[in-house]
Amino acid sequence: MSTVRWKGAGCLLALMLGLVACTTDTPEAQVRQRFDDMQAAVEEGRVGDFMDGVSRDFSGDGGMDNAALHNLLKMQTLANARVGATTGPLDVRVEGDSASVAFRVLLTGGNGRFLPEQARSYQVMTAWHREDGDWRVYHARWDDAR
């Protein structure tokens, strides 16, 4: 009888800890997770999944909007068998329902063999806000980091 109670209490404790872990995600942790998900999506060629993290009102350098960003990513995934995005440390700052993420990224592309055929490094600054409870990037600025 005590073994059954112990197993039940253990399951209840595990469930409670899982719920607490889900509800205590800080806004910074949520932004970092969204960023990681988007990075994985672009490397795996899942442009639609990447764009789920981009606001419909997105604006970027050179007048780039949401549609232009989508087309650029689609073009890169079609032109390269393998796309890589290696980021340096993220500088994440959150204030209420707004956030900024600054980072350096090395973008690579190629046919998927041992070495990439293209590589370029950028310093990137992004602005984020909550839309319908999810963090989305709504602005990005990037400079060559050569």
Contact assessment for residue 73 and residue 55, using Cβ atoms and an 8 Å cutoff = no
- Chunked into runs of 10 residues, the chain (146 residues) has average pLDDT values of 48 46 77 97 95 97 95 91 91 97 92 77 97 96 87
Token reading at 146: 């050569």
Helix (H) or strand (E) segment spanning residue 65: strand 64-65
CATH numbers and ranges of domains, the chain: 26-144 (3.10.450.50)
For 17, the 3-state DSSP assignment is: helix
- Within 10 A of 51 (CB to CB), how many other CB atoms are there? 21
Q: What is the pLDDT of residue 59?
A: 97
What's 62's DSSP letter? Answer: G
| Residues found in the chain | 146
Q: What is the pLDDT of residue 58?
A: 98
For 41, the 3-state DSSP assignment is: helix
pTM of the model: 0.79
Contact assessment for residue 85 and residue 43, using Cβ atoms and an 8 Å cutoff = yes
- Within 10 A of 89 (CB to CB), how many other CB atoms are there? 8
- CA-wise closest residue to 80 among 54, 58, 47: 47
**Beta strand 134-144 pairing with 54-60:** parallel
For 73, the 3-state DSSP assignment is: helix
Separation CA 33–CA 37 (nearest Å): 6
